[in-house]
Amino acid sequence: MLNIVFAAAQSLTVEEVNIALAVAPYGDDSGDGSPERHPGRRTKLTTDDVEYGLVYPLENHLKHVCGLFIRTIKKKVYPVHETAREFLFALKTSAVEIKRSTIPLLGPPHESQLHHFQHNFSLVNANTLLLNICVAFLSCLAKPSKTSPPGEVSPETEPFRSALSWTIHYHRTKRLLEKRENRYYQNLCHPLLPGFDCWMQELWDPNHTMAKNQVSHPPGAPDDIQDYYIEYFNLETHSSSSYGAGLDNKHDSAISDFESCEDEPSDASETSLN
């Protein structure tokens, strides 16, 4: 849970953390939190599964599991202080440390046990997990459920904004991707994929000011539209675009040093919320 909160592209709401935790068993395909990915498990997820995994009241669960490290302000979850991130995440992470860095946190650590958690989290793993959570959620939109038709989110899962952040986490872990796996992410940009219109609408109209299916795409055949978005999001290993180049410059160094992606508030107590 801590790695989800600390590595999020932006501060998550309580509802978003709840949904992320419900998707996490399907997003963490390796089973040990390592950067290895096996997309097969994602294809089994439905919005019914997500709703079944939601925890209420989550605020109490958050306090019990990570009360020493996070703070909830106006329904948003923040690291209690930037020093908490520095304490938990290693500045430099070796390949061996990446494999063993994810540790279960089933209860609040006692003060005498805190040294066991120091530098035991990897930012690489955290972004890998968040990428897989986002993509697993987007992929489940292609499946029918009891509460929503294919291509649509259910009312309980609507708050999750994976469309806004999955490409950010993609570029933060891009160096770990294999070419065969990259195709999986590119397929999310195909207009014939159920759920494409849904996540594109969320991307371009996050405040929901437009009617559904009103987002316009470049003219052309479905494959041409996919190629446009692959280039736009820089999902090709050697391609470049204004969007992707900016992400690469901003996030590539996050693989070895967490300081390059400190975009969370440095102190939750000093954060002003609208």
Q: Which pLDDT tens digit goes with each residue over 184-234? A: 899 999 999 888 988 998 888 888 888 777 788 888 899 999 999 999 999
Task: Specify whether the CB–CB gap between 35 and 3 falls below 8 A.
Answer: no
Residue 174 lies in a domain: yes
In this prediction, residue 233 carries a pLDDT of: 93
DSSP string, 153-212: --TTTTT--GGGTHHHHHHHSGGG--HHHHHHHHGGG-TTSTTHHHHHHHHH-TT--S-T
Block residue for tokens 């391609």? 239
| 274 pLDDT higher than 50 | no
In this prediction, residue 149 carries a pLDDT of: 82
Residue 74's domain spans which residues? Answer: 2-187+252-270
Does the pTM exceed 0.95?
A: no
Residue 233 lies in a domain: no
Q: Respond yes or no on whether the N-terminal peptide bond of residue 57 is cis (omega within 30° of 0).
A: yes
Give the pLDDT band of residue 176 (cuts 50, 70, 90).
confident
Residue 195 lies in a domain: no
Residue 144 lies in a domain: yes
pLDDT by residue (tens digit) across 119-171?
567 788 888 899 999 999 998 888 888 888 878 888 888 867 788 899 999 99
Find the largest Cα–Cα distance for the chain: 62
How many other CB atoms sit within 10 Å of the CB of residue 43?
12
How many domains, the chain?
A: 1
Residue 244 lies in a domain: no
